[in-house]
Structure 1
Amino acid sequence: MDRWTKFGKAIGSHMSFIAPTCVILGVLFPEVFGLAKPAVPAMFALLTFQGSLNNDFKSVAVQFRHPKDVLCILGVSMIAMPVVAQLIASVLFSGNPNLVTGVTLEYCVPVGVVCFMWCGMYEGDLSLALASILVSTVLSPVSIPFTLKLLLGADVQVDVPQMMSNMAFMIALPAIAGMLVNNVTYGWGHEKLSPALSPAVKVLLMIIIASNSSQMSDQVRHLTPELVEVAAFILVFAACGFALGIALALVRKRPTSRIVTSCFCVGIRNISAGAVIAAQFFPGEVVFPVMMGTLFQQALAGIYGSLMERKLLKS
């Protein structure tokens, strides 16, 4: 069991290198990793379930008694950022609705579960992180298709009922099930089951990234100046997301732990979910902007974490 746990930790500690490698493998060998596409929703449901085993209803309920911080994080991440991303993308890439859709989709997805790990590493408020992750995750079956339809309208055909059912299967129901297991077993889910599943889930995440990346193989192999511009935009906008989270908490004069949590919760998205949605419902070109986030997100989290450690945690 110790070796199994160490194996999982080794993958997690090198994810900033592993994730881009998986993207490259998916692009280079689409005929291999594309075979996993039918199983991706089920794999992602297990990933969500394992991540939610670290949550419990009690810690989340505490945040709802004083919900201002949660509402600020969700207001920026679920409303402001998708709107701004769509507006800028519509100007920069007006001739390509697929790219605009991909950029918008990336910022419609819920707060990434991995932000809980980053908050733990840099002394963030974990209960606030849990509440932000849970609420955005549970709302995603409704919020994602609604936001896409509202912002993109006739430019994109969204099968709303099908997307909602997929999101419920992949994200909302496994998230609730994971928390329920943890509560019913009085923490056994978090202490025993989650660590046991974690290495397998990390392997599945690698397969998911590679499989999703295979959908954009043709675009990468025939890279155009416009796609390079998309990648550059995603990098800049993602970096601004982390900075916005910090600024939001500083303006409201929140304690350091909540500044850290705001940074990661606003900056980190469940990009794997976005890539799964893109691959399931849209042309391959839509996957490209979403997967670019995979290349940049973890590296940016590390940079901002180090910055906050120097400027905030040791001040």
Structure 2
Amino acid sequence: MRSFGLAFNARFEQWMFLIIPGSLVLGFFFSGPLQRFVPAVPYLFAYVTLTMAIGCGLGQLRTVVRRPGVLVLTFLIAHVLSPLVAYGVGALFFGPESPYVVGMVLFTIIPLGVSTVLWVGLSGGSIPLMLAMVVIDSALSPIVVPGGIRLLFHQAVKTDTGDMIRDLLLIIVVPTIIGVTLYELSKGRIQNAVKPFAAPISKLCFVAVVLLNAAAIAPYAEQLGGDLLRLVPLSLAMVGICYAIGYFGTMPYRDRELQITVSYATGMRNISLGIVLAMGYFSPLTAVPVVLSILIQQPLATVHHYVLQKLHKTTAGVEG
């Protein structure tokens, strides 16, 4: 059973760039029968957060704290520069009060994505640094997400900030605290002990979150009309810009491992949380740019990985 769980998890990660978009399409096609399960999304998401957090202990968090400049720079790029770019580009094409603009900004404000750790490892970045940044960023989300939305859209968007903070605490912060505590109590052994069972279930919960949120959005798809012709290239450009500013923003450090880590951190976000928040607190159309980002950020992660390998070979050739 243990070997089956580990093999399933490895296969899922290998084919994630196809599985997640496929789940999205299935959610749209079978939205009718899936609608009644949508209320389960926050609980599924809380479990995903818990399984992520049990891989991070206080030691990794202290490593990040010892490099506050890296942490601050990453968060500034991810949650200040990126939202401003998203707001400017979105407002230019749709007007500042458009729900699509809110969705584009929401994508840049939500915490760093858990799947980032996989790509950082494949590309030669720092897994402990990335994992710790994901945990810290997730813990700060009850402040960052509603704060960022209120600063940019205080007149255009009305939402219940108190309820949003409460939900973020329940589905992000509390599971994160529990996960880190379990890691410490087990002296780091818990992740390997439960991974064959917990990781596959977490992947299935992740698929369910995407599936159910797609089902929730489906009834509003007909309202999009010709907007998709502008939304798709804009979302593609926005995700690509987030990868690029993370990479070039850390060039002064002259540290390839750091550049790889931060570029993935700023390019990949916790999209499941973005959809949960978009559907729970904003117009359903707000979720459309977030959903498009699901389709885009994993394939772009593959492209980014390829580009990073080419850059590394070129640099190594020049130095040689």
TM-score (norm 2): 0.94
Q: CA RMSD in A?
A: 1.6
- Code of the residue aligned with 2:277 in structure 1: it is I
* CA distance in 1 between partners of 2:142 and 2:97 (Å): 26
Per-residue deviation, residues 53-89 of structure 1 (Å, max 9, x unmatched)? 1111112202212211111111110111112211221
Deviation (angstroms), 1:36: 2.0
Distance 1:142 1:253, change over 3 A: closer
Residue 232 of structure 1 corresponds to 233
Please say if 1:65 is aligned against 2:66.
Answer: yes
Please say if 1:311 is aligned against 2:311.
Answer: yes
- Gap regions ≥5 residues in structure 2: none
Q: Is the 8 Å Cα contact of residues 250 and 258 (structure 2) preserved in structure 1?
A: yes
Residue 248 of structure 1 corresponds to 249
Per-residue deviation, residues 126-176 of structure 1 (Å, max 9, x unmatched)? 222123212211110111111111101121111011000000111111112
Query: When the two structures are aligned, how many residues end up with a matched partner?
Result: 314
Q: Is the 8 Å Cα contact of residues 41 and 209 (structure 2) preserved in structure 1?
A: yes
Residue 93 of structure 1 corresponds to 94
Deviation (angstroms), 1:221: 4.4
Deviation (angstroms), 1:222: 5.4
| SS of equivalent residue, structure 2 residue 253 | coil
- Code of the residue aligned with 2:271 in structure 1: it is I
- Code of the residue aligned with 1:211 in structure 2: it is L
* CA distance in 2 between partners of 1:313 and 1:37 (Å): 46
Q: Is the 8 Å Cα contact of residues 103 and 278 (structure 2) preserved in structure 1?
A: yes
Residue 264 of structure 1 corresponds to 264
* CA distance in 2 between partners of 1:279 and 1:224 (Å): 19
Per-residue deviation, residues 177-201 of structure 1 (Å, max 9, x unmatched)? 1111111101122221234201011
| SS of equivalent residue, structure 2 residue 159 | coil
- Code of the residue aligned with 1:187 in structure 2: it is G
Per-residue deviation, residues 206-239 of structure 1 (Å, max 9, x unmatched)? 1110111122213434542223211210111101
* CA distance in 2 between partners of 1:119 and 1:268 (Å): 11
Per-residue deviation, residues 27-74 of structure 1 (Å, max 9, x unmatched)? 111112222211110110000000111111112202212211111111
Deviation (angstroms), 1:248: 1.2
Please say if 1:30 is aligned against 2:31.
Answer: yes
- Gap regions ≥5 residues in structure 1: none
- Code of the residue aligned with 1:303 in structure 2: it is V
* CA distance in 2 between partners of 1:231 and 1:271 (Å): 16
Residue 299 of structure 1 corresponds to 299
Please say if 1:194 is aligned against 2:234.
Answer: no
- Code of the residue aligned with 1:290 in structure 2: it is V
Residue 113 of structure 2 corresponds to 112
* CA distance in 1 between partners of 2:104 and 2:179 (Å): 30
Give the 4+ runs in structure 1 shifted more than 6 A.
none
- Code of the residue aligned with 2:133 in structure 1: it is S
